A and B are shown apart, each in its own frame.
Chain A
Amino acid sequence: MMTKKTKKALATLLIGLLALSLAACGTSSSSTTAPAGTTAAENKEPIKIGHEVALTGGSSLWGQSEKQALEMEIEKINAAGGVLGRPLELVAYDNKADQTEGVNVAKRLVGDKVVAIIGPAQSGVGIAASSVTEGAKTILIGTTATNPKLTVNEDGSVKPYTFRTCFIDPYQGKVAATFALNSLKVTKAAVLMDVGSDYSQGLSQYFKETFTAGGGTIVADEAFRSEELDYRAQLGKIKDAGAELLFIPTMQKEAGLAMKQAKDLGLDVKFLGGDGWASKELVELGGEATEGSFYVNIASLEDPTIADWVKEYKAKYNANPVMPNPVLAVDALRMVVNAIESTKSTDSTTLANYMSTMKDVPVLTGKLTMDPKTHNPVNKPAVIETVKNGEFTFFEAFAGQ
């Protein structure tokens, strides 16, 4: 009797303790604001820059690198005396690339009174978070969020406080289709997309529109669901349709597997994809099947404009930045810094008004001009990369819109 009771009590206690200790360890380590640089500007009140970033989960690879890049950049700025004589402070919270978390993080950053939020990288998270930041009149700058709906409302009006530093999906789809028609000279294409991903749906739609408008035919239009790993049934159908090119607008995992399975089925086509491919896991998963495939990217490691910066990053962190997120986050930071310095203000409305009409502002990837009607950068170049001997190699550049 006694033992049973004690056992029960013990169990309850254990569970309680577990919960408590978890809570305790959380509070003690939850203040993750990155230490700002330590120089002259130190004594003044810092300017807080928020960072909505996926530090855990499937997108953490890019998220971690994005944060490192921003930390490095802020350290440099602070060492040079900060902005308006005040140091910058990065306030980064993990949104796990999840919409609910993204909204929570946005609310938290608004509460922290940050001047601007850099990120999120995912369009879906960005759209959800922007409803919070728009209401609170806080600037949000998406990094790799390519969905047009991030900066523009359903009715076509621009969201006054929301910007991005990357190109948008319609442009990317257009680049891919133009490249297929003009450089690869194919006329019969098939599409294999991830129906559970807004990115994939958007990209495939714009690819198809441009490809057919340019005289090509879509011979097979297939899809699979996000968690699926086997696409052989769909690929068999694509093989039967006699496609010359297979456009796979998905992330690296699905694209790698699809290419491998296509080769297994004896499907002899060229492969083409979007910026979701940009991870070396593509080659690891797809093996030799990926050799000679092409994809559109926002920025390339080999791009001469960012070569110095990449070297610097590599020297500091002993690894290459995981493209393209870090570069676009740095662009966003430079945009904010430029706005603060030009307006001599940290008021969000003043800054947003300035950013909205920014012209030829020097950022990492070149010069940035904002379209005031859409808050998309107008002259973002795209690059085509290819897989050569198992490495991503710069193939050709696509000039701005």
Chain B
Amino acid sequence: MQMLMQTLVTGLAVGGIYALMAVGYSLIFSILNFSNFAYGGIIMLGSYMGFYSLTLLKVPFAAALIISMLGAALLSFLNERIAYSSLRKRHAPSLYFMISAMGTSIFLENMVYATIGSDYNAYPAIFKQSSVSIFGSTIGKLDLFAIIFSLIAIYIMNYFIQHTRTGIAIRAASYDSEVSQINGVNLSAVIGLVFVLAGLLAGVSGVFLGMKYMAYPTMGWITNKAYISAVIGGLGSLPGAVTGGLILGVLESLVSVYVSSLLRDVFSFTFLIVLLLVMPSGLFGKYLEEKV
């Protein structure tokens, strides 16, 4: 019982990180309908920005978080303008977007390799290595903070999208970009904004990943888990991304402890395939006919 509780808590802590990454990724999918594989690269750079703000500029933690959020937002915006906007204007198939995104991701990752190097950069200790006990299970304070912070960030994001004028424009564009444009939505501005929002989330994710683990060039690998989370939850759905992340985190934890830590990726993958066969658009995905 004790062990089950601890496993669930650990699973939720890991899942919280997946969820935070999956939200930004899913947000972009919701409006452009393609998998932005470059998102992992943006998170990685966000993490580096946080690292250098803390170690070179020696700013306080809050300032480092803001710097990396703004930096990642700018990168995300540039990413859209350089790699996707002309494809969007040409109505290119989503395959082209994916390839362009993959190119960006390869570019960013290897750029860091070539310029900064492949060292593992540990964040300075911000929160003392301490943990709290909940129902007899231990959870790191940082994890708790990460989960609470990501829930707040996701809540704000959701409120913004559901209840503000700009949010309505975003939603309108995500359903039908052509019609919304006719109705006076400045599509280019809305898409730019979505990438900025996703970038802000990438900055937060990057700093958390950095604190939890470290900053290094191939850390974008962990975003594979975020992609899978988003697909489980249904691409394009923000609550889906959160649920998908938590489900994946808990599933991995349970399989590791009760079945085999070696085979957990096989379980996650099988789960993904079976889920997609039963629910082709994930748990909360809106079913969209693919654009040609």
- Chain A residues in contact with chain B, CB under 8 A? 56-58, 60-61, 195, 222-225, 227, 229-230, 232-234, 236-237, 239-240, 252-253, 256-257, 260, 263-266, 281, 284-285, 287-289
Contact = CB atoms under 8 A, between A and B. Distances in A.
6 contacts: A233-B253, A237-B261, A256-B122, A265-B6, A284-B121, A287-B125
A196 to B, nearest CB: 10
B261 A233 contact: yes
Contacts of B109: none
A225 B140 CA distance: 23
B129 A289 contact: yes
B122 A287 contact: yes
B178 interface: no
A233 B11 contact: yes
B183 to A, nearest CB: 31
A263 B138 CA distance: 11
B179 interface: no
B129 A263 contact: yes
B36 interface: no
A284 B261 contact: no
Interface in B127-145: 129, 131, 138, 140
A236 B265 CA distance: 19
Contact of A234 (B121, B214, B256): B256
Given A236-B7, A236-B257, A264-B131, A60 B118 contact: yes
Please give me the 6 A-B residue pairs with the lowest Cβ-Cβ distance, nearest first: A233-B256, A284-B122, A264-B140, A233-B253, A229-B213, A232-B10
Contacts of B218: 227
A126 to B, nearest CB: 21
Given A60-B118, A227-B221, A263-B129, A257 B213 contact: yes
Given A58-B118, A232-B10, A233-B256, A264 B3 contact: no
Given A223-B262, A229-B222, A240-B3, A260 B129 contact: yes
B119 interface: yes
B80 interface: no
Given A237-B257, A265-B138, A253 B129 contact: no
A57 B119 contact: no
B118 A265 contact: no
A266 B3 contact: no
A236 B6 contact: yes
A8 to B, nearest CB: 13
B216 to A, nearest CB: 8
Given A234-B261, A236-B257, A287-B129, 16 more contacts: A60-B118, A227-B222, A229-B213, A233-B11, A233-B14, A233-B252, A233-B253, A234-B257, A237-B257, A260-B129, A265-B6, A265-B138, A281-B119, A284-B121, A287-B122, A287-B125
